[in-house]
Structure 1
Amino acid sequence: MGRSVVINKTTPAAETGGYYCDVCDCVVKDSINFLDHINGKNHQRNMGMSMKVKRSTLDDVKERFKLKLAEKEYEKKQKNMEEILGDVYEEEAKMNDYKKEKKAEQRKRKLIESLPEEEELDPELKAMMGFGGFGTSKKK
């Protein structure tokens, strides 16, 4: 950007302005002409591709149908396998959640059982003494 280059007849084709095709060793000035060149006969011939269309036989068509049918069956099996795996993962997640809930429930039960039973004082007596209990005043 911001520089000038002098191009004359002795400048290599790859360094001149435009799009350079290294297969055909030519320069095309704009993108539309470059695409026309890429899809053209000369470029395709230089790439080693023939422009002739092969005539299909009945056996070729039958073989192609068999191939497509086999692909569809394979995709169907893959889809079924993915559904089964999805169901298995769902069940595992449910079981893990159930186990976590069960453990949490057991912890609560053990915590409740391990707490010593406080002898309840008369609420009037507590109010008169100015406290509600010997526990902590922090909220969890």
Structure 2
Amino acid sequence: MSNKQGAYGARAGDTDFRKKWDKEEYAEKARKHDQEEKERMQENEELLKQGKKPRRGRKDDLPKPTELMKRREGSLDLDKNLNKTIVVQNTGNRGPGVPGFYCETCNRTYKDSAGYLDHINGRAHLRALGQTTRIERSTVEQVRARIAYLREKTKEASNAKSFDFEKRLAEVREREAALREEKKAAKKTLRERARVQLAQETVPAAPDAPKDNNDMMAMMGFAGFGTTKK
């Protein structure tokens, strides 16, 4: 072996800096992969016998469900971008920023709200959250508490509705009173107009009243102010 040294004092033929590959580890991974493929082929044979579609790839390494399915606490806001124009930040086909509905848990994007809703209610999404598709069974105390809450809520709604009815009734009464006042004022105006017209018709006219200005001038002795020339 050569005794030449490199620039950093190490021997030129020394290869200890290279990564060491654990052959046993990768052999174990290969055996595990072969076992999974064998199980998948056997499962596909059973599915074909049952007339079902075979599974193409391996199952995702999802965690085992540790809790029952829970109710969503917040709203999905599926219509928050309705009739809006948004800027597309991601020009790819997957990931956030792509037009559609994106699921951060599963890193999948759906083009419409129906597909997105089916996904978040599906088994794969719940499995990724560590939940099963079974719902927790309510106890007697929980049912009683829920009934009491609904009764109180119904009572509050009934009181609010009664208050609104009284307020509405008062507004209707005020409007009817205003209409009556308007009708009364209109009738009074008509009566005053009819009384004035009747008074004008009943005043007697003077028998020797002049008919026009010429008769008045002749009665006062004025013949005219014009000339006799023609």
Name the residue aligned to 1:50.
Answer: 131
Name the residue aligned to 2:148.
Answer: 66
C-alpha change, 1:68 and 1:101, in structure 2 (3 Å) is same
C-alpha RMSD of matched pairs (Å): 3.6
C-alpha change, 1:72 and 1:110, in structure 2 (3 Å) is same
Aligned length: 107
Q: Secondary structure at the match of 1:110?
A: helix
Is the Cα–Cα contact under 8 Å of residues 20 and 27 in structure 1 kept in the other structure?
Answer: yes
C-alpha change, 1:43 and 1:113, in structure 2 (3 Å) is same
Q: Larger radius of gyration, structure 1 or 2?
A: 2
Name the residue aligned to 2:201.
Answer: 118
Name the residue aligned to 2:74.
Answer: none
Amino acid at match of 1:57: T
Structure 1 or 2: larger helix share? 1
Rounded Cα–Cα distance in structure 2 between residues aligned with 1:91 and 1:85? 10
Unmatched runs of 5 consecutive residues or more in structure 1: 1-10, 122-140
Asked whether 1:14 is paired with 2:94, we answer: yes
C-alpha change, 1:30 and 1:22, in structure 2 (3 Å) is closer
TM-score (norm 2): 0.36
TM-score (norm 1): 0.55
Aligned-residue sequence identity (percent) comes to 22
C-alpha change, 1:105 and 1:20, in structure 2 (3 Å) is closer
Taking CA–CA contacts closer than 8 Å with sequence separation of 6 or more, which of the two structures ends up with the larger relative contact order? 2
